[in-house]
Amino acid sequence: MWGRMGRAAAVCAALGVLWWATVRLAWAGIGCEDWGCLVPAVGTVVVITLALLAGSAFALERVDVRPGRRVALVAAGVLVVFRLVGEALPSWTSSFAHAVTAGAVFAGAGAVAAFGTEPRVARRWKVTTAVGVIALIPAALVVSWARFGA
């Protein structure tokens, strides 16, 4: 189980850094300066994200994290929660920090997904993990409220 989680985390971390770099290049290539280019820019990010999600399913299968499609979908859901939680945290201007953060967040999502889809893990631990991930959302709202006020 731990090896499966480690392999999933490594694959997802690499894909997270690739996602960050690709999205950064896409935004720079589009050169979005006003609201008129927002739709194509966001559409490009969605296409990149979906392509990497599909690629992650294949990559997870290649490193014996099966079923790769299911693990990739669970990791995507966890990433959505992590992204929402990330809005409550302070940001920084360093590109290196953004790349490292993307890799770490994707790795965490991959590890959680591998754990949550492992057949040998007891149902109570899967439910506890899911509740813990979902509980991050109200916790982030409290942190955001405390930082920025009502």
Per-10-residue mean pLDDT, the chain, length 150: 91 95 89 78 91 94 92 94 87 87 95 95 96 94 82
So what's the pLDDT on residue 31?
78
So what's the pLDDT on residue 104?
95
Residues 40 and 54: their CA atoms lie apart, in Å, by: 21
For residue 67, cis peptide bond before it (omega within 30 degrees of 0): yes
Of 29, 83, 26, 74, whose CA–CA distance to 53 is shortest?
Answer: 74
So what's the pLDDT on residue 101?
92
Residues 116 and 110: their CA atoms lie apart, in Å, by: 10
So what's the pLDDT on residue 150?
60
Give the predicted TM-score (pTM) of the model.
0.87
Of 73, 81, 84, 82, whose CA–CA distance to 114 is shortest?
Answer: 73
